[in-house]
Amino acid sequence: MSIDVSADVRIDADQQAIWDFMTDPEHEPEWIGGLKRAHLQGDPPLREGSRVERVASFLGKRIEYVNEVVTFAPPHTLEMRSVKAPFPMRITYTLDGNAVSNRVQGGGRLQSLMAPFVRRNIQRDLERLKALIERP
C-alpha cells in the first residue's frame, strides 16, 4: 500500500522570501520535524538534478536518505524523489502567492495506516515554517 497526503498553510510574507527560505537545504532542520541535518551535495544553487542528503529521526530510528530534485520551477514548485532511502517517496512543495502546500507520496513501509501521522507531521512542519518566516 502507499500513501498520498498533503497539508497547506498561508504565510504572511513575500512569495520570493518564502521560496528562498523553504528551498534552502541549510534551513530544513529548522522547520522539518525530526530532521537533524540537511546538506546539498555538490555546488549551489539548488536546481533540477541536485541532491540533498538528509539525516532524520523517525519513530526513534535514525534514517539517512538522499532526495533528488526532479522539478525546480521558482518560485512555484519544488519536487523531489528519494534516490537513497528506506522507503520510496516523492515530496512536492507548491507555492501560490503566499499559500504553501506540501504533498508526500510514498510506498514500501509507508503504509496507508501511517497517512494520518504523516499528514499531521507535514502540517506541523508548515506551521513551523510559517512561524519562522513571519517572526519579526
Is the CATH number of domain 3-134 3.30.530.20?
yes
C-alpha torsion 17→85→7→131, nearest 10: -40
Q: Can you give the residue ranges of every domain in the chain?
A: 3-134
Q: What is the pTM of this model?
A: 0.92
Helix (H), strand (E) at residue 56: strand 51-58
- From first to last of its 136 residues, what are the pLDDT tens digits of the chain? 588 999 999 999 999 999 999 999 999 999 999 999 999 999 999 999 999 999 998 778 899 999 999 999 999 999 999 999 888 899 999 999 999 999 999 876 556 667 888 899 999 999 999 999 999 8
Taking residue 36's Cβ as centre, other Cβ atoms within 10 Å add up to 13
